Structure 1
Amino acid sequence: MTATPNFTLAELITVNLARSFKDKEVGFTGLVTGGAAALYGTSIPLAAMTLARLTHAPDLTILLAGWSHNPDLSTLNVMPDSEFDAVLRDLPCEAHMMSYPGTWAIKRGDIDFGFSSAVQVDQVGNINSVLVGKDHKKPKVRLVGPILQPEHMALFGREYVMMPHHNVRNFVDRVDYISGVGYPGGLAGRADLGLSRGGPEWVVTPKCIFDFEKKAGAIRVYSIHSEDDRDLQSHTGFHVDAERASLTPRPTADELEILRRLVDPKGILLGKHL
């Protein structure tokens, strides 16, 4: 029996995201900065899309910040710290297009999937990156803003919400401000809002992957990353049941080899694996 290869949490998440993408799809991610937020919001999505291109989805299109298309991430020596950083400008890619996001029209539904990050997620999948506090005129904390999240959650085919932290402050009964719409009232509720497609597909955290019972509009535990994460309830501000949840599927040795040798040979995206 072949032993399961050693892997990091970032590699585990990357591989499972990559497996969920299909050939010929178009994926969009912005450039998030700052520690764990950058890892979950930009680096893991980029590594996952590149891994998919090198395995089962060679014609998947990566849109980085909307204007760098199918970049060669293996050449990175440092992550760019803004969407128009010189590092990103000089990154080898198939195309640079300044007509955001180029030949793909968001309103026409050309983007198959995208990635968001937020400070709060609630049990119907609404996300919040605008403020914390019920008084919107005098919030406790003012955040970065909606940053295209309304479009991501309404016009893209599906959305992966990447949450770098998992605790009761982040996973709440009801978000303080809706910057991206989930499934309030389920699919029928989205239809009442004029939203005929899209919505969150997964919410990915350091502890688990959530998916949704979309007809009812209810978040649920898809998998947990380790047995230590089975006590998910103590870290979540609404009811969850992880007792019978399966473990997040493990990477294969081949996937890890491609990820480490071809996608991220310098450990710029996912960090050193040893």
Structure 2
Amino acid sequence: MSAMPNYSLTELITVNLARSFKDKEVGFTGLVTGGAAAIYGTSMPLAAMTLARLTHAPDLTILLAGWSHNPDLSTLDVMPDSEFDAVLRDLPCEAHMMDYPGTWAIKRGDIDFGFSSAVQVDRVGNINSVCVGDYRAPKVRLVGPILQPEHMALFGREYVMMPHHGARNFVDRVDYISGVGYPGGEKGRRALGLRSGGPEWVVTPKCIFDFDRVNGAIRVKSIHSEADRDLQSHTGFDVSAAEAALTRTPTTEELDILRRHVDPKGILLGGH
């Protein structure tokens, strides 16, 4: 019988996100609300960027909600639940920015990477947070595009954070495109006038997807455990994890920094 891992799923994902960031990059995340969506869309990205700053990327810039720069997350007692919550306003940080374009501008291409969450993702990486069903008579009306068109078109790359992995979330074709993936690959993006950007990873509780950008096809980068190898039964398009690598495990040093300095109160990642 194998030993239980000494890290949580949120720590595993957070560490792997952190490793993918480079020094001097600028990362942007908003405030997603609501249970697992908030953990995937906001908490893990913030923890990952902070971990990167404390390890290999000391000059990475964190833009929380676009206006709180390099916040001290270790002081949090509760997560703010809106982008102008008093908790966020009073959170110690290096700077606040309330003007536009300010130091970093989306349209100027100053954001190296960002984070999105969605209800649907399809096989070419399009995302949907607008509706389920026909837009003119939807079964469910969702939150809306919430800057996703800009994230997927103007940022250098995008991490799509999916709190659930089921066949209704991973579909052959999204019901509404609120963020553009790789329809027709990178050539297809260029035909739409999109010269850069697009999804880098799609992160789920079961795996990390990346993309064959030439053909525009999603593929399995890694699975989080052997129990996740049967992705097909949870995915609404053809996918195989038979030969997929396991997601790289955290080191003792990474876990120590994450637990003692990034999230000492367990506010971001749900305890240790």
Q: Same fold (TM over 0.5)?
A: yes
Q: Which residue of 2 aligns with 1:201?
A: 200
Q: Does the CA-based 8 Å contact 1:66-1:101 persist in structure 2?
A: no
**CA offset digits 1:39-80 (Å, max 9, x no partner):** 000000000000000000000000000000000000000000
Q: Which residue of 2 aligns with 1:254?
A: 253
Rounded Cα–Cα distance in structure 1 between residues aligned with 2:231 and 2:102: 41
Q: Which residue of 1 aligns with 2:64?
A: 64
Deviation, structure 1 residue 105:
1.0
Rounded Cα–Cα distance in structure 2 between residues aligned with 1:126 and 1:241: 20
**CA offset digits 1:222-269 (Å, max 9, x no partner):** 000000000000000000010000000000000000000000000000
Matched, 1:22 2:12: no
Deviation, structure 1 residue 5:
6.0
Q: Which residue of 2 aligns with 1:148?
A: 147
Q: Which residue of 2 aligns with 1:137?
A: 136
Q: Structure 1 regions of 5+ residues with no counterpart?
A: none
Q: Which residue of 2 aligns with 1:268?
A: 267
Helix, strand or coil at the partner of 1:203 = strand
Q: Does the CA-based 8 Å contact 1:67-1:101 persist in structure 2?
A: no
Deviation, structure 1 residue 102:
3.2
Percent sequence identity over matched residues?
A: 86
Helix, strand or coil at the partner of 2:180 = coil
Rounded Cα–Cα distance in structure 1 between residues aligned with 2:252 and 2:4: 8
Rounded Cα–Cα distance in structure 2 between residues aligned with 1:72 and 1:272: 18
Helix, strand or coil at the partner of 2:167 = coil
RMSD of aligned Cα (Å)? 1.1
Aligned length: 270
Rounded Cα–Cα distance in structure 1 between residues aligned with 2:141 and 2:230: 31
**CA offset digits 1:149-169 (Å, max 9, x no partner):** 000000000000000000000
Range moving further from structure 2, 135-144 or 145-154: 135-144
Matched, 1:33 2:36: no
Q: Which residue of 2 aligns with 1:82?
A: 82
State how 1:102-251 maps to structure 2 within 5 Å: 102-133=102-133, 135-251=134-250
Helix, strand or coil at the partner of 1:243 = coil
Tell me the TM-score normalised to structure 1 length. 0.97
**CA offset digits 1:127-176 (Å, max 9, x no partner):** 0000000x211100000000000000000000000000000000000000
Q: Does the CA-based 8 Å contact 1:67-1:100 persist in structure 2?
A: no
Helix, strand or coil at the partner of 2:94 = strand
Q: Does the CA-based 8 Å contact 1:4-1:252 persist in structure 2?
A: no
Rounded Cα–Cα distance in structure 2 between residues aligned with 1:64 and 1:192: 32
C-alpha change, 1:57 and 1:4, in structure 2 (3 Å) is farther
